[in-house]
Every structure is written in structure tokens, then in C-alpha cells.
Amino acid sequence: SQQGEEDPQALSIQEGENATMNCSYKTSINNLQWYRQNSGRGLVHLILIRSNEREKHSGRLRVTLDTSKKSSSLLITASRAADTASYFCATQTWGNTPLVFGKGTRLSVIA
């Protein structure tokens, strides 16, 4: 069963604005990973954050993790039209085990 719940389900913003997506999960985790998917294609790995980390950055991406609230957020700064995609969070309980995906957020960036 799906563990993660993304919020919002859909988000529409203007180019240049920041986009924030949230993810909540139910059980203890080893790590949480964020992915992007363009138009039903393969998943592109964005960032992994471990349970003992609170924040990670990668380019225009900023991910936070609050294990006490069992939640994570993905911030995309200065969004571009090319950021239009679905974004999924996925949790892993232990290494080398399958991921449990949230329902995803559909982001539309309008030029």
C-alpha cells in the first residue's frame, strides 16, 4: 500500500516563482527520495535524504525532512517551464528494499 501522500495533488505557477510540494509518510524510514516524471516517461532521480539529515540542496532543489512529523518538502526555486512534470516522493525502510511511492504532485509551470 502507498505510504506517502503528496500535497498538493496539482500545482500551477508562473515561471520564476517557487514551487513547494509536501510529502507525508506513516512509518519509520531509512531514507526518502524524490523523483520527477515527464509525461508518463521514466522516473528521474532528483535527491535522496537520509533519516538523520534535515535538509539537502541540489541546484535549484531544496529538500527538507522532519522525521518527528514524518514529512518532507521539495522546494523548486525560480521555476522554469521545463520543470513541468509530476513529482513523487518515495520512502525506503531499509537499504536494498523497494520504495513505497506517494501519489505525486502534478506541477505546471506557465511561461
Binding site for other proteins (CB under 8 A): 2, 30-31, 33, 35, 40-43, 45, 48, 50, 88, 90, 92, 95-104
Which is nearer to other proteins, 48 or 61 (by Cβ)? 48
* Cα–Cα distance, 86 to 98 (Å, whole number): 20
Q: Angle at the Cα of 65 (from 50 to 73), degrees rounded to 5? A: 125
Nearer to other proteins among residue 36 and residue 70 (C-beta): 36
Query: Cell numbers of 20, please?
Result: 513547494
What's the closest the beta carbon of residue 104 comes to other proteins, in angstroms?
A: 5
Please give the single-letter amino acid code of residue 106. Answer: R
